[in-house]
Structure 1
Amino acid sequence: MSSDRVGMMEFFHVTPAASGLHVTPDSAMRVSAVFACVQRIAGAVASLPLQQYERREGERELVDNPPLWWLLNEQPCARFTAASSWEQSLCGMLLRGDGFVYLRRNRIGDVKEMVPLPWDGVSPRRVTTDDSDRLNYSISDVRTWGCDQDDMLHFPGFGFNGLRGMSVIQWAARNAAGGAMAMDEYSGKFFAGGAHPSIVLETSGKMSDTLQEQTRNAFAARYSGIANAHRLPLILTEGIKATNLSVSAEDSQLLEARKFGVIDIARAFGVPPHMIGETSASTSWGSGIESMNRGFVQYTLETHLQRIEQELNRKLFRTAKYFLRFDRDAMLESDSDGQAKYYRAAAGGPGSGPGWMAIDEIRKKKNLKPMGGDSAKIYFPPNKPVSAKPEDPKNEP
């Protein structure tokens, strides 16, 4: 294969794996492990609400009813909900290296719509002058137009080179995805043949070529395929014997190879295997799983959230006064035990020390009405009175 053709195939993310199969983002998504990894990461980001803050005198305050809230959390444009928009952007970033969202502004520069764009419809181009080095984007989506980088949210994956990011499928999981595709195809053919291993029909007598062909075809027509599996008893005449020639799928370690492929794909995406259904490598269902969940949030999800937040802040505000941040606490919504421990520590109290959240702040996060009074105050332990009794040994020097 020529180097030009290889380069073109890599540009369009159509590259052959070691298995010989051509792996594309679309074909890779037919592998259940790839689909599950992308779904877990994209779904986690899409489930987190975006909140706007304002910096005031070295502190940050949550902005009530910010103008961009509806676009970021409910409906960025007429065709998409916020969740589906984030999922498309994350799919582009993970599978192809970049996610793109066009910012449609009004005449005074306010953002009115945020339109997700397909990866293959956007071509970034570097434009340099004596005093600037920027990106322009050529867009082909129903119609063709161009825009400056200020009007394009560009969410690159790991390894951004100033033009495009690195695709997980192209760089880290190509061979693993190709191997999984090959094993899926082999398994399909194995079961399509009735899950029978190869059979040798042997006889002590001599058979003509015509009789051999007829016997072979008759045997295949009657006993191969899903429709014939376990339907009719095997009857052989004229001294013919059937001998098992090949090993079973389990003996050839197909199942073990597929299991390793799942773990390899999960490793490339940074997703703990148990989150996509592979639990054989987990040490326990107790603290081990909890630690892996925290690792997923800290080492995988957090990097994606940081890149998205930085891109949103520099394109939407262009000032340090305002900034957007995903509400990480929302990850606790489905973990009642973890949520209870977190809020108990946040509220503080006897035996827990000072708190950092008032009860009413916690109630607000749970969509409950504030109670006012002491519930609106952050708990601080009262000062303990010092005993003046000389007989108290604690007061002795």
Structure 2
Amino acid sequence: MDRAIAVHNQLEYADVPSSDAVRMGEIFGEYPSVSGAVVNESTAMRVSAVYAGVRLLAGAVATTPCSFYRRTDDGRESANGHDYWWLFNEQPCGRFSAATFWEFITMQSLLRGDGIAYMVRANRYSARVTDVIPVPRSNVDIIRVGDRLLYRIYDQLADGTWGYFTATQDDVLHFSGFGFNGVHGMSVIQWGAKQAIGIAIKADEHAGATFAGGASVQYAVKVPAGKTMTRDMQDEFRHAWVAKYGSGVGHSKIPLILTEGLDVSELSMTSVDAQLLESRRYGVEDIARAFGIPPHMIGSANVTAWGTGIEQMGLGFLKYAVRPHLTRWQQEMNRKLFPIRDAVFLEFNVDGHMEGDSKAQAEYFGKALGGPGALGWMTVNEVRRLKNLPALPGGDVLFDPGKAAKPDNPKPAAPDEHLEPDA
């Protein structure tokens, strides 16, 4: 809070252009589409393809361990005993577990362009972070002042009341989405999938209205040539129809006996309805494309071009869809948590995603340990630590194919076959 007071005057004079379309969208939380549907984070998440895409990416991030390391003269060593390991792998603050924290941050980054969390220091003179508290993007104003950013955050204050406080960029972890312009990232639902989501919302409404009417076949009453019906006659006919069949779901379709030469014909599904069904299938692909994920992973029947087999598809998803987010975010965390370029740094460890594929994991560890003609890059104990197994004596030595080919105790020479055996 003291940091907020220190920069309050800068905030007062910061220029926030209210005419900016993106800014107005953030204020009102609405991005109207051409279809007429309002697309915001609430309405978009009611579309099954959006929900599935956000859940998939958020789940992948939430299940990726955040590992800490310490730089050494010959490389690096594990530093998972660091206090920050607990914050980002177990509990960042009292209200969130680490998994729910990362799911929330990922969802905000995808739907609003930025995930925001402010850091609580041990005291006003300490750089040590004790809590990391996420806040909804709608509760944050991001303001540029020169080459620095200020964050005006609406949240519950220390005295229990709700209000605004201001934090500098040094006290905020800004997990931006794709297209960060120095102030904010690009929302997927605003830029990449607004029209597709708008069409999907309207298609869902149309389908719901159809089934609300019982999904019944439509009928048209034709008046033969030369016949006329007054308005009173038309009203009487409509009342008779409703009285006979009702207007809700599941009513009988027994034909009504008509007089005066009226003719009833059945109307089948129109080409417009058929195109609507096709557009709903295409909408899943369009939304998946905007989120950068293969359609088959959110329920589309279409295949992917990322290779064959579950392993290759999973690796493609991690490489092209998940890793860009993780790379941006680990750089943000390293520069904010260790601003003096400390010897400690963090990385997201995507190797953990192979846990469910025992065959792929065995092949990976087999290559990592080394073999005939190949130098290993992991020791036995490093592999055992990843599997939460105790270390083994002598298990901290890398496999060296050169030493394996030349043992310390050479094999004894074979006896001379020309010598006669002992009597």
Q: Give the TM-score category using the shorter length.
A: 0.7 to 0.9
Q: Does 1:326 align with 2:340?
A: no
- Structure 1 window deviating more from structure 2 (34-43 vs 357-366): it is 357-366
The within-5 A match list for 1:365-380 is 365-373=386-394, 375-380=395-400
The alpha-carbon deviation at position 240 of structure 1 amounts to 4.3
What are the superposed Cα offsets for residues 348-393 of structure 1, whole Å, 9 maximum, x if unpaired? 334x7332222332222111223334x443323322699x9xxxxx
Aligned counterpart in structure 2 of residue 124 of structure 1, from 142, 162, 168: 142
Give the equivalent residue in structure 1 for 2:148. Answer: 134
Shift of 1:294: 2.3
CA apart distance, 1:193: 1.2
Task: Note the aligned Cα RMSD (angstroms).
Answer: 2.9
Distance 1:7 1:109, change over 3 A: closer
Q: Look up the SS of the partner of 1:227 in the other structure.
A: coil
Deviation digits for residues 28-63 of structure 1, max 9, x if unmatched? 111111111111111111111111111111511111
3-state SS of paired residue (1:60)? strand
Give SS of 2:233's match.
Answer: helix
| Partners of 1:199 and 1:245 within 8 A in 2 | yes
The within-5 A match list for 1:82-231 is: 82-107=98-123, 108-128=126-146, 133-141=147-155, 142-202=162-222, 204=224, 206-220=228-242, 222-223=244-245, 227-229=249-251, 231=252
Report how far residue 220 of structure 1 moved. Answer: 4.2
Counterpart contact for 1:249–1:255, Cα < 8 Å: no
Specify whether residues 154 and 115 from structure 1 end up closer, same or farther in structure 2 by C-alpha distance, changes over 3 A only. same
TM-score w.r.t. the length of structure 2 is: 0.82
- Residue aligned with 2:249, SS: helix
Change (3 A) 1:119 1:294: same
Question: Secondary structure in 2 aligned to 1:252?
Answer: helix
Q: Secondary structure at the match of 1:228?
A: coil
Q: Do 1:194 and 1:224's aligned partners in 2 also have CA atoms closer than 8 Å? A: no
Deviation at 1:296, TM superposition (A): 1.9
Which structure 2 residue ranges, 5 or more long, are not aligned?
A: 1-17, 156-161, 414-423
169-178 or 135-144, which deviates more: 135-144
Higher Rg: 2
- Aligned letter for 1:18? V
Identify the residue that residue 158 of structure 2 maps to in structure 1.
none
- The equivalent of 2:319 in structure 1 is 298
**1:289 and 1:253, CA in 2 relative to 1: closer, same or farther beyond 3 A?**
farther
1:57 matched to 2:73? The reply is yes
User: How far did residue 347 of structure 1 move?
Assistant: 2.4
Residue of structure 2 equivalent to 1:359: 380
Distance 1:117 1:258 in 2: 34
Contact kept, 8 Å, 1:173 with 1:268, in 2: the verdict is: yes
Residue identity matched to 1:134: R
Relative to structure 1, the CA distance from residue 154 to residue 376 in structure 2 (aligned partners, 3 Å threshold; closer, same or farther) is same
1:254 to 255, 276, 280: 276
CA contact 2:121–2:129 (8 Å) conserved in 1: yes
**Which whole-Å CA distance do the structure 1 matches of 2:283 and 2:346 have between them?**
38
Q: Residues 228-251 of structure 1: CA distance to partner in whole angstroms, max 9, x if unpaired? A: 25x453343435442123525896
Query: 2-side partners of 1:270 and 1:81: how far apart?
Result: 27
Tell me: CA distance 1:135–1:222, structure 2 relative to 1, closer, same or farther (3 Å). Answer: farther
SS of corresponding position for 2:269: coil
Deviates more, 1:255-264 or 1:139-148: 139-148
Q: What CA deviation, in whole Å up to 9, does each residue of 1:234-271 have, x standing for no partner?
A: 34343544212352589623222111000000000001
2:297 corresponds to which of 254, 268, 275: 275
Q: Which residue of 1 aligns with 2:365?
A: 343
Distance change in 2, residues 1:372/1:249 (3 Å): farther
Alignment check: 8 A CA contact 1:176 1:264 kept:
yes
TM-score (norm 1): 0.87
Q: Shift in Å at residue 88 of structure 1? A: 1.1
Residue 31 (structure 1) aligns with: 47
Residues 1:228 and 1:354: Cα distance change in structure 2 (over 3 Å): same
1:310 aligned residue: 331
The aligned residue for residue 18 of structure 1 is 34
Q: Structure 1 CA distance, aligned partners of 2:52 and 2:332?
A: 26
Alpha-carbon distance in structure 2 between the residues aligned to 1:223 and 1:335:
58
- Judged with a 3 Å threshold, the aligned counterparts in structure 2 of structure 1 residues 51 and 284 are, in CA distance, closer, same or farther, namely closer
Are the equivalent residues in 1 in contact too, given 2:143–2:183 (CA < 8 A)? yes
Number of residue-to-residue matches in the alignment: 379
For residues 111 and 59 of structure 2, what CA distance do their matches in structure 1 show? 15
Q: Distance in 2 between matches of 1:212 and 1:225?
A: 17
Q: Could you tell which deviates more after superposition, 142-151 or 207-216?
A: 207-216
Cα separation, 2, equivalents of 1:206 and 1:367: 86
Which consecutive unaligned segments of at least 5 residues does structure 1 have? 389-397
Q: Residue in 1 aligned with 2:8?
A: none
Note the alpha carbon deviations across 1:308-346, whole angstroms, 9 max, x for none.
100110111111521111111111112223222212222
Q: 1:222 touches 1:228 (CA, 8 Å); kept in 2? A: no
